[in-house]
Structure 1
Amino acid sequence: MSLKRVYAAAGILIAGILLVVSLFTSWYTLDESDQAVILTFGRAGETVTDPGLHFKLPWPVQRVEKLARETKSLQFGFKESDGKKELSDETKMITGDENIVLADLVVQWKITDPKKYLFNADNPEEVLYDATSASLRSIIGSSKIDDALTSGKAEIEGNVRDLLTSLMEKYDVGISILAVKLKDVELPNKEVRSAFTAVTDARETMNTKINEARKYQNQKMNEAEGEKAAIMSKAKGEKAARLETARGDIAVFNKLYKEYKSSPEVTRERLTIETLEQVLPETEIYIMNDDGNTLKYFPIRPMEKEEPQQAEKTEGDEQHGQKNN
């Protein structure tokens, strides 16, 4: 075989190989959960999100980098294996009031800019992990232990999410934060947990007693307000009655004064007699002229009362005598 034939056969073989490689590397498929970036000689081009079969220039001219579109989860501070949860040393943090707690969380995130995700950082997920650690420690470090262990978890989650979102926007690695969920925030050992539980129970008891006291206070205040309203209403009624009485007395006085001006002596004597009748209602009053005689008062009325009694007594004696006879 001549050398030309060898070269021709080698060329045909190489061309066949290139053709096969071109056929196999010019087509790619995307699932509904995928997105792809087309790289032309290593430079990022368009982003493809439509699922199905797509064409590109063969390798090494163009190649495809596929990335997931679904939501991903980042577990910070713990690992789960065989249904068991193992905490790492990263969960140990100091609160704003200088207490130690163990805190772990889950971050829901997704890739929203594939180009930035591929080229703005060597390992975007590591950047996300470090930013999550920094955000959680910062927020826990400015929170009180009571808030971290009880009713302040929702606020801590919101603050961690806001801080983490701002950090990821600053790092610009094409990642968006969807949600942050605290899994557990607890004390480091059983003794401390037991003591804190006792303090929490005591606080709950205190709040219950305070609520009961406020309820009793409100009840008594309502009763006092009712009594006050009743007293005020009664006082207003007495005020109105006394005003009417005073107006009547004024009218009577004005009438008497008018009569007094016309005949002072008669009115004066009349008032004197009426006053005596009011002061001595059961007493008989006699008005006599002093003409200088010795006898000033002759008690006729008592004698008139005694005479009928004596007559009744005499009649009774007579009847008794007749029976004896």
Structure 2
Amino acid sequence: MVSLKRVYTITGLGLLILLLGVVALTTWYTVDESDQAVILTFGKAEDAVSEPGLHFKLPWPIQHVEKLSKETFSLQFGYEEKDGKVKDFPSETKMITGDENIVLADLVVQWKITDPEKYLFNAEDPQEILYDSTSASLRSIIGSSKIDDALTSGKAEIEADVRELLSSLVEKYDVGISILAVKLQDVELPNDDVRKAFTDVTDARETSNTKINEAQKYRNQKLNEAKGEEDAIKSRAEGERAARLERARGDVAVFNELYNEYKGNKDITKERLILETLEQVLPSAEIYIMNDDGNTMKYFPIRQMEKEQPKPPAEEGSEDNE
């Protein structure tokens, strides 16, 4: 029969071996390159460990380790992609735009754990908080946007606004999460009839814009032509102005010369001006210079003498040829 002392001894040795085994197995831990660890001392979090490799700690139950991933996570809002199949959740993605239209919008949020202690202890379910914050941010931004922006060229701005609002909410909740990126996947209308009506409106708007651009192009063309014609008229007017100024300067110079001659020989200049004026006014009239000498009127027939003036003799060479 085994003695009680022997039983106690065997039990004590077993407990000692178990205790040594627990100590041996729980005083060290490893951290992978993609992980980060938090040491808990009697449930209280210590500094996080992110250096990969072998590390040591006090044995359990004094200290134990919680490991979290450092990789980037993806939150799929409004749909679920699994095994190559996509499942939509229209009830979650249906929302109203700022101009009171209904759209279906889903998106992907890229996030990571940046503070393991807060992620573990500041909230019971940080991912649920992130999901609700994503829903609130997207609905808020879509609710202040127009349907045209949500469906066409305004997606990038909506993504930026959603990311900014979501980041501020996550920072406010202080759950140790950072938002890296927000990407809208699909923004579409709820049914075929609405899609067709919106497509018709979009096509009409595009046609209107095309016509407006063509009219603007025609307007610019005509304005350029009118501008060119205006410049040509101004150029001709400037040339005419310059020509008239030069003629006026020439007339002034002639007048000054005549005036100087007139001051020296008033009678002769007066008669000369009269004759030149008559020739200009009556170019075909016969002009005679007459001299009144007593009772007999004599005149000098200049025109007749010009007519009777003999022609100059022809050159000798031409006579020889004849």
The bucket for the TM-score relative to the shorter chain is 0.7 to 0.9
What is the aligned partner in structure 1 of residue 164 from structure 2?
162
User: 1:113-128 to 2 correspondence within 5 Å?
Assistant: 113-128=115-130
Structure-2 change in CA distance of 1:167 and 1:213 (3 Å): same
**What is the CA–CA distance in structure 2 between the aligned matches of 1:283 and 1:111, rounded to whole Å?**
117
**What is the CA–CA distance in structure 2 between the aligned matches of 1:23 and 1:201, rounded to whole Å?**
74
Structure 1 window deviating more from structure 2 (279-288 vs 33-42): it is: 279-288
Q: Secondary structure at the match of 1:240?
A: helix
**What is the CA–CA distance in structure 2 between the aligned matches of 1:97 and 1:4, rounded to whole Å?**
87
Q: Secondary structure at the match of 1:188?
A: coil
What is the aligned partner in structure 1 of residue 134 from structure 2?
132
Q: Secondary structure at the match of 1:249?
A: helix
**What is the CA–CA distance in structure 2 between the aligned matches of 1:88 and 1:69, rounded to whole Å?**
32
User: 1:285-304 to 2 correspondence within 5 Å?
Assistant: 285-288=287-290
**What is the CA–CA distance in structure 2 between the aligned matches of 1:215 and 1:123, rounded to whole Å?**
60
What is the identity, as a one-letter code, of the residue corresponding to 1:269?
Answer: E
Equivalent residue in structure 2 for 1:143, among 142, 145, 148: 145
What is the aligned partner in structure 2 of residue 25 from structure 1?
26
Structure 1 window deviating more from structure 2 (257-266 vs 181-190): it is: 257-266
What is the aligned partner in structure 2 of residue 62 from structure 1?
63
What is the identity, as a one-letter code, of the residue corresponding to 1:105?
Answer: L
Q: Secondary structure at the match of 1:35?
A: strand
1:249 aligns with 2:251: yes
Structure 1 window deviating more from structure 2 (105-114 vs 246-255): it is: 246-255
Q: Would you say the 8 A contact 2:79–2:86 is kept in 1? A: no
What is the aligned partner in structure 2 of residue 222 from structure 1?
224
**What is the CA–CA distance in structure 2 between the aligned matches of 1:46 and 1:244, rounded to whole Å?**
97
1:2 aligns with 2:21: no
Q: Secondary structure at the match of 1:28?
A: strand
Q: Secondary structure at the match of 2:269?
A: helix
**What is the CA–CA distance in structure 2 between the aligned matches of 1:231 and 1:15, rounded to whole Å?**
115
1:37 aligns with 2:32: no
1:203 shift after superposition: 1.5
**What is the CA–CA distance in structure 1 between the aligned matches of 2:86 and 2:172, rounded to whole Å?**
36
**What is the CA–CA distance in structure 1 between the aligned matches of 2:103 and 2:281, rounded to whole Å?**
91
Which residues of structure 1 form unaligned runs of 5+?
306-325
Q: Secondary structure at the match of 1:206?
A: helix
1:105 aligns with 2:99: no
Instruction: Name the Cα RMSD after superposition.
Output: 2.5
1:293 shift after superposition: 8.3
Identity %: 71
1:107 shift after superposition: 0.4
1:194 aligns with 2:196: yes
1:156-210, CA deviations, whole angstroms, 9 ceiling, x for partnerless residues?
A: 0001111111111111111000000011111111111111111112222222222
1:17 shift after superposition: 1.6
**What is the CA–CA distance in structure 2 between the aligned matches of 1:71 and 1:265, rounded to whole Å?**
115
**What is the CA–CA distance in structure 1 between the aligned matches of 2:110 and 2:284, rounded to whole Å?**
104
Q: Would you say the 8 A contact 2:114–2:177 is kept in 1? A: yes
**What is the CA–CA distance in structure 2 between the aligned matches of 1:158 and 1:292, rounded to whole Å?**
119
**What is the CA–CA distance in structure 2 between the aligned matches of 1:64 and 1:208, rounded to whole Å?**
66
**What is the CA–CA distance in structure 1 between the aligned matches of 2:210 and 2:90, rounded to whole Å?**
38
1:88-115, CA deviations, whole angstroms, 9 ceiling, x for partnerless residues?
A: 3111111111111111110000000000
What is the aligned partner in structure 1 of residue 208 from structure 2?
206
1:49-92, CA deviations, whole angstroms, 9 ceiling, x for partnerless residues?
A: 12222222221111111101000000111122443341331111
Using the size of structure 2 for normalisation, the TM-score is 0.86
1:289 shift after superposition: 5.4
Q: Secondary structure at the match of 1:75?
A: strand
Structure-2 change in CA distance of 1:121 and 1:292 (3 Å): farther
1:276 shift after superposition: 1.8
What is the aligned partner in structure 1 of residue 174 from structure 2?
172
**What is the CA–CA distance in structure 2 between the aligned matches of 1:118 and 1:262, rounded to whole Å?**
122
1:10 shift after superposition: 1.0
**What is the CA–CA distance in structure 1 between the aligned matches of 2:41 and 2:75, rounded to whole Å?**
32
Q: Secondary structure at the match of 2:286?
A: coil
What is the aligned partner in structure 1 of residue 72 from structure 2?
71
**What is the CA–CA distance in structure 2 between the aligned matches of 1:184 and 1:73, rounded to whole Å?**
16
**What is the CA–CA distance in structure 1 between the aligned matches of 2:264 and 2:25, rounded to whole Å?**
140
1:287 shift after superposition: 4.1
**What is the CA–CA distance in structure 2 between the aligned matches of 1:83 and 1:201, rounded to whole Å?**
33
What is the identity, as a one-letter code, of the residue corresponding to 1:231?
Answer: I
